[in-house]
Amino acid sequence: MDSSQLFGITMIAYLLAAAFYLGLFIFKTPRLGWIGMLLAVGGMGIQTAAIGLRWYESYQMGVGHAPLTNMYESLVFFAWCTTLFYLFMEFRFKTRVMGAFVMPCVAIAMAYASFSDRIDAQINPLIPALQSNWLIAHVVTCFIGYGAFAVAGALGLMYLMKLSAENKPANVHALSASLPELKVIDDLTHKTIVFGFMWLSAGIITGAIWANEAWGTYWSWDPKETWSIITWFMYASTLHARFTRGWRGRRIAWLAIIGFIAVFFTYFGVNFLLSGLHSYGSN
């Protein structure tokens, strides 16, 4: 059994988990949610093993390095972080229906990593620029942040759905009846953004220190750096709007979604659409 087979099983588990969570959301049968949770936890366990195995395999090949070095590995790690963060939220705040919004994202990330032509799943040796201890610190901090922001975006979407359903006739209302109270979603969105912001800051800082070690400039306004600071500015405004202007609810939900679009562009758009120092992430 090799890591790619395990990643395949992970992908199927996440797709099924997404389907069951959606089932919970639509049919409101608690058992469906429970199966979804088991699938997500199981998928997560298999994925953890697969990441460990891929790491080991790279040493077997004589090019040993943490599996965090290209688009395939980063998508897999993004799926892992998001699921881990989501499951933590589910257990901590007892909001299982959130999975209907988060797990489809995770499943899509895994499926895209496995099936896209643009993405090379091979284990490749590390080019000199990536041979640094900062690699793990930088990628892990960034991706915990990305995972949290993905969950925040899903929560924002959930909030808007619940809100629009509350202003509509009862039959539409029924669909969102299983969603938590607006106040609860709002509070969770805020907490998630705060958590993500911490890690995004840490990710930008570790990146800056690494850039200084490798190139002698901690900041060179390369597109990836610029987009990460744009994202940082956006979440900083969101937090200020909430803390000092008292923004709540709908506006914060929209900002959580817009923020995630910025994260998505920082992660994907920059690699595929713009050129720069981070180009090794694009294949």
Partner 1 sequence: MTQQKKNPVVALFASVQLALFLLFFLAATSIIGTLIPQNSPQGVYIEKFGLKTANLLHMLDITDMYNSWWFLGLLTIFSMNLLVCSLERIPQVIRTIRRDGLAVKPELLEKFPLREVVTVAMPPEEMGRRVLSLFSKQGWKARDTASDKGRLFFAEKGPWSRFGVYVVHCSILIILAGALVGSPTIAQKILRNPLFAFKGSVMITENGSSDQIISLKDGKPLDLGFLVRCDTFNIEYYPNGMPKTYRSEVTVIDDGKPVMSTAIEVNRPLTYKGITFYQSSYQPYQDYVVTVKNQATGAETKEVIAPARQMDWREAGVSYGIVNRESQGEVTRRIKVWFTDNQGEPSIFWVNINQEALVERPSGTYRFQARQIYATGLQVAKDPGVWLVYSGCLLMLVGLFIAFFLSHRKIYALVQPHDMGSRILFAGEANKNKVGFTDKFSQFISKLEK
Binder among 111, 214, 261, 277 for partner 1 (CB under 8 A): 214
Q: CA nearest 203: which of 232, 245, 164, 242?
A: 232
**5 binding partner 1? (CB under 8 A):** no
Q: CA nearest 89: which of 5, 188, 166?
A: 188
Minimum CB–partner distance for residue 97 and partner 1 (Å): 20
Interface positions, 23-42, toward partner 1 (CB under 8 A): none
Beta carbons within 10 angstroms of residue 19's beta carbon: 18
**205 binding partner 1? (CB under 8 A):** yes
Binder among 143, 197, 260, 267 for partner 1 (CB under 8 A): 197
Its sign, for the CA torsion 145, 266, 183, 81, is negative
**165 binding partner 1? (CB under 8 A):** no
Minimum CB–partner distance for residue 37 and partner 1 (Å): 24
**233 binding partner 1? (CB under 8 A):** yes
Instruction: Give the contacts of 14 (CB within 8 A, at least 6 positions apart).
Output: 39, 40, 43, 79, 83, 103, 106, 107, 110
Binder among 41, 87, 194, 261 for partner 1 (CB under 8 A): 194
- What is the rounded distance in angstroms from the CA atom of residue 49 to the CA atom of residue 45? 6
**229 binding partner 1? (CB under 8 A):** yes
Distances (CA, A) of 127 to 13, 65, 72: 33, 11, 16
Provide the binding-site residues for partner 1, judged by CB under 8 A.
Answer: 63, 124-125, 127-129, 131-132, 187, 194-195, 197-198, 201-202, 205, 208-209, 212-219, 221, 223, 226-227, 229-230, 233-234, 236-237, 240-241, 243-245, 270, 274
